[in-house]
Amino acid sequence: MSFLVMKFGGTSVANVERIRNVARHVKREIEAGNRVAVVVSAMAGVTNQLVAWVREASPLHDAREYDAIVATGEQVTAGLLAIVLQGMGITARSWQGWQIPILTDNAHGVARIKDVPGDKIRARLEQGEVAVITGFQGIEPERSRISTLGRGGSDTSAVAIAVAVKADLCDIYTDVDGVYTTDPRIVPRARRLPKVSYEEMLEMASLGSKVLQTRSVELAMVHRMRLRVLSSFAAPEAMQPARPETWDQIGTIICSEDEIVEQRIVSGIAYAKDEARVSLIRVEDRPGVAARIFGPLADTNINVDMIVQNTSSDGKHTDMTFTVQESDLERALDVLKVAKKDIGYFDVKSSSDVAKVSVIGVGMRSHAGVAAQMFKALAERGINILAITTSEIKISVLIDAAYAELAVRTLHALYGLDKD
């Protein structure tokens, strides 16, 4: 017998028919003797309607009222799933954030989970009752008002609940059947990874393989909670119920490095096309100039990703290149214009026709030469590298967007990730 948390997102519960499908996934696990807590999002479209009403009510609105309104979406799904489960003869009840309670800080709209007392739910699970829990929401410290975690927060709810009830596995059902070595639309020979380490998953998620919310992976890593990504659209009865011996045969398990037996140097190739490059030409090369550039950007919540500073040719001036999210580009240029006098630069150039391609793998820690191989392979294809950043388990290069697919395919083959 295993204790499971099963999380289903908005498209998996988009209507009552799909909620029935979710219930069949739950039934399979219950019939195999497992204990189940389910975490659900709002039915696809419902949250958008609620947000539209809020915006119509006032463009500037109280985040506490926004939370009270949008949290209703998950409450509806949880109640409906409990009813469908009961109709299948399964004991179940719905739980709203404040009822457990899922305690958060009071940053309404973007709240963080602080604590989830799990004993009450665990005891119910042990008696065979299914707990259907609203994702995405909690209650703030004074326990008076509903808070929400922000879009995508249901993954984080699921992990927090899995930790609280001491689950063996936290299954995240989604519209893909696992994590792949790269995007199968670009490389048809991409393989599903049976296991990925938390660290690798974090690099993949933040680089554009948006299967899981970053915070949920961080939380799972801290508590060493085993996550599994699998498809909710597969026929529920055709899937194996979760058993420790076989649970890595479906989907992708995200777990500690030491649970991964198979040795790989590189696990996957990620890419992101939503970056934009900004170059400041002839910046004065004096102490503190970086702070004068990046301070104002940080103040306006613009994340800067890659940074390259050229060596100074005349000892007085240098060029500074960095990347931001494409959607932040216009705001970034405005900020730089305002700060021009303070920074002191000659000109600013920008381009959104760039892509970031990354090679990720925990094996890099112990293997030298991965970067060298990469640069050589790209050069052979005539792909020019505009910028480079590295971490312990990742190498990213910024290239012309037109070469993104070619680069991904080249690197996927280079590191032996192609399917046999």
Is the CA virtual torsion 252, 254, 259, 264 positive or negative?
positive
Q: How far is the CB of 134 from its own copies (least distance, A)?
A: 10
Q: How many Å apart are CA 212 and CA 226, to the nearest integer?
A: 13
Q: How many Å apart are CA 217 and CA 224, to the nearest integer?
A: 10
Q: Among 84-92, 165-173, 207-215, 224-232, which window interacts with its own copies (CB under 8 A)?
A: 84-92
Q: How many Å apart are CA 148 and CA 154, to the nearest integer?
A: 10
Q: How far is the CB of 16 from its own copies (least distance, A)?
A: 4
Q: How far is the CB of 56 from its own copies (least distance, A)?
A: 4
**What is the distance in angstroms between the CA of the first residue and the CA of the last residue of the chain?**
36
Is the CA virtual torsion 5, 10, 11, 12 positive or negative?
positive
- The answer to whether residue 24 forms part of the interface with its own copies (CB under 8 A) is no
- The answer to whether residue 267 forms part of the interface with its own copies (CB under 8 A) is no
- The answer to whether residue 131 forms part of the interface with its own copies (CB under 8 A) is no
In sequence order, the β-bridge partners of residue 269 are 359
The residue from 45, 48, 58, 342 that contacts its own copies (CB under 8 A) is 58
- The answer to whether residue 57 forms part of the interface with its own copies (CB under 8 A) is yes
The residue from 11, 24, 44, 79 that contacts its own copies (CB under 8 A) is 79
- The answer to whether residue 99 forms part of the interface with its own copies (CB under 8 A) is yes
Quick one: DSSP state of residue 277? E
- The answer to whether residue 145 forms part of the interface with its own copies (CB under 8 A) is yes
Strand-pair category, 394-400 with 354-360: antiparallel
In sequence order, the β-bridge partners of residue 137 are 148
The residue from 87, 141, 244, 416 that contacts its own copies (CB under 8 A) is 87
- The answer to whether residue 8 forms part of the interface with its own copies (CB under 8 A) is no
The residue from 32, 51, 76, 107 that contacts its own copies (CB under 8 A) is 76
**What is the phi/psi pair of residue 35, to 5°?**
-105, 135
Q: How far is the CB of 341 from its own copies (least distance, A)?
A: 37
Residue 240: what residue type? Answer: Q
The residue from 32, 44, 51, 68 that contacts its own copies (CB under 8 A) is 68
Give the tokens for residue 206.
Answer: 């933040």
- The answer to whether residue 83 forms part of the interface with its own copies (CB under 8 A) is yes
- The answer to whether residue 61 forms part of the interface with its own copies (CB under 8 A) is yes
Residues contacting 260, CB < 8 A, separation 6+: 195, 196, 197
* CB-based burial label for 41 (10 Å; 0-12, 13-18, 19+): buried
The residue from 78, 149, 250, 253 that contacts its own copies (CB under 8 A) is 78
- The answer to whether residue 106 forms part of the interface with its own copies (CB under 8 A) is no
Residues contacting 124, CB < 8 A, separation 6+: 93, 131
Q: Is 329 left (phi over 0), alpha (psi -120 to 50) or beta?
A: alpha
Cβ 323 vs Cβ 354: under 8 Å:
yes
Residue 274: what residue type? Answer: D
- The answer to whether residue 133 forms part of the interface with its own copies (CB under 8 A) is no
- The answer to whether residue 122 forms part of the interface with its own copies (CB under 8 A) is no
Question: Angle of helix 46-57 relative to helix 72-87, nearest 10 degrees?
Answer: 150
Judged by CB, which is closer to its own copies: 99, or 309? 99
Cβ 219 vs Cβ 114: under 8 Å:
no
- The answer to whether residue 347 forms part of the interface with its own copies (CB under 8 A) is no
Judged by CB, which is closer to its own copies: 49, or 240? 49
The residue from 14, 24, 44, 86 that contacts its own copies (CB under 8 A) is 86
Residue 161: what residue type? Answer: I
Q: How far is the CB of 96 from its own copies (least distance, A)?
A: 7
Judged by CB, which is closer to its own copies: 71, or 225? 71
Q: Among 56-64, 199-207, 292-300, 411-419, which window interacts with its own copies (CB under 8 A)?
A: 56-64
- The answer to whether residue 11 forms part of the interface with its own copies (CB under 8 A) is no
What is the C-alpha R_g of the chain? 24
- The answer to whether residue 80 forms part of the interface with its own copies (CB under 8 A) is yes
Residues in contact with its own copies by the rule CB under 8 A = 16, 19-20, 50, 53-54, 56-58, 60-62, 64-66, 68-69, 71-72, 75-76, 78-80, 82-84, 86-87, 93-94, 96, 98-99, 144-146
